[in-house]
Amino acid sequence: MRRFVVASSLAWLAPDAWACATPSSEHALEASLDRVEQAFADLDDAGIDAALVEAGAHLGCLDQVVAPELAGRFHRAQGLAAWKIDDQKQIWALAGAKAAAPDATFPFAVVPEGEALHGDLADAQPGASERVDPAAGQLHFDGRPATERPTQRATIFQEADPSGAVVQSHYLWPGDALPAYARPEAVPLPVASPSPTEGDPAASAATSGRLLKLTGAGLGVIAGGLYGAALWSESTFHNDDTLALDDLTGLQSRTNSLSVAAGGVAAVAAVTGGVGFVIAR
């Protein structure tokens, strides 16, 4: 017994495709999955398809984050639908079931004991995943909050807003694009306030002029100090009769150095101060 599966292309439509007039619930989803399993046990091809489409509609309109155990059951229903029809999707679905609910199995009333499906489920491997961009709210994969999307198994993707309300639910196969979801708003960088003189050439020139005048005045004080030291050294040279010849030679050299330094600093002070007065006008 196997049949052409029409449900595989219909059950995973997004909530807006089903035009959710009212939110659905886990209870309604469970009832649809009951019908999928019963139809499989009864070898009812049309019943499997109809119940799986119904289950997909309830999943797309869920008003809450699906419980991991129920996510696993949904994946197992996918595995039943794909049995002997699409081996790759069966592998992906059973891997999703194993990841969502590792200890769950097919009831023997649905899949008789000894059928290969039991072994396929037990041997399923969850596979790899990849990091996704942060959401403004929270992303859930197979009923659990996560920052990584499974890439080698089927998964139930849900977005919840910051309040926890479910915004969208989708069944994704490997290779399906991740639906668009709300990202956090970028926090603008602080902008430095302009200084009082920024953008005002006259005020800026006045400030620069004041700084130059103060600098010139400071240099003038230094020049005065150097000149005073030179005078003291010269006075000692002429008036101290106790100094030896070597001391006098050293004193003369120091006097000359202090005089030259005082003159140089005084010249710089005069130029700096003069420029400051000109700019500050």
Whether residues 214 and 131 share a domain: the answer is no
Residue 235: per-residue pLDDT: 63
What domain count does the chain have?
Answer: 2
Assess whether pLDDT exceeds 90 at residue 147: yes
Question: Quick one: pLDDT band at residue 17, thresholds 50, 70, 90?
Answer: very low
Token pair 């700096």: residue: 272
Tell me what pLDDT residue 230 has: 53
Range of 44's domain? Answer: 7-172
- Domain annotation covers residue 196: no
Do 24 and 137 belong to one domain?
A: yes
Decide which of 151, 172, 193 is a domain's last residue.
172
In a shared domain, residues 166 and 221: no
Above 90 in pLDDT, residue 125?
Answer: yes
pLDDT at 5 over 50: no
- The percentage of residues in the chain with a pLDDT greater than 90, rounded to a whole number, is 56
C-alpha to C-alpha distance for 53 and 48, rounded to whole angstroms: 9
Q: How far is Cα 215 from Cα 268, in angstroms, rounded to an integer?
A: 10
- Asked whether residue 150 falls in the same domain as residue 235, the answer is no
Answer yes or no: do 43 and 156 share one domain: yes
185 part of a folded domain? no
Averaged pLDDT, 190-217: 59
**pTM, full prediction:** 0.63
Based on the fold, state whether residues 118 and 207 are members of the same structural domain: no
Tell whether 1 is covered by a domain: no
Count of Cβ atoms closer than 10 Å to residue 270 Cβ: 14
Q: What percentage of the chain reaches a pLDDT higher than 70?
A: 59
Residues 172 and 50: their CA atoms lie apart, in Å, by: 20
pLDDT (0 to 100) of residue 184? 87
Residue 105 CB: number of other CB atoms within 10 A? 14
Q: What is the DSSP string of 64-93?
A: SPPPHHHHHHHHHHHHHHHTTT-HHHHHHH
Same structural domain, 100 and 231? no
Q: Does residue 187 lie within any of the structural domains?
A: no
Query: Helix, strand or coil for residue 238?
Result: helix
Which amino acid is residue 240, in one-letter code? Answer: D
Q: Which of 63, 119, 123, 75 is nearest to 101 (CA)?
A: 75
96-108 pLDDT, tens digit per residue, is: 999 999 999 999 9
Q: pLDDT band at residue 21, thresholds of 50, 70 and 90?
A: confident
Looking at the structure, tell me whether residues 205 and 263 fall in a common domain.
Answer: yes
Cα–Cα dist 50/33, whole Å:
11
24 and 150 belong to one structural domain: yes
In a domain, 219, yes or no: yes
- Domain assignment of residue 116, yes or no: yes
Tell me the residue ranges of DSSP E strands in the chain: 129-131, 138-141, 144-145, 148-150, 155-160, 166-172
Each residue of 63-87: pLDDT tens digit? 999 999 999 999 999 999 999 899 9
**Does some domain include residue 87?**
yes
Q: How confident is the model at residue 258 (pLDDT cuts 50, 70, 90)?
A: low
The token pair at 281 is: 């006008």
On whether residue 39 sits in a domain, the answer given is yes
SS3 207: helix
**pLDDT at residue 7 in the model:** 36
138 CB-near residues (< 8 Å, 6+ apart): 145, 159, 160, 164
Among the listed residues 86, 116, 97, 102, the one whose alpha carbon sits nearest the alpha carbon of residue 154: 97
- Domain identity same for 45 and 140: yes
Q: What would the mean pLDDT of 14-38 be, rounded to a whole number? A: 83
Q: Are residues 143 and 218 in the same domain?
A: no
Whether residues 168 and 206 fall in one domain? no
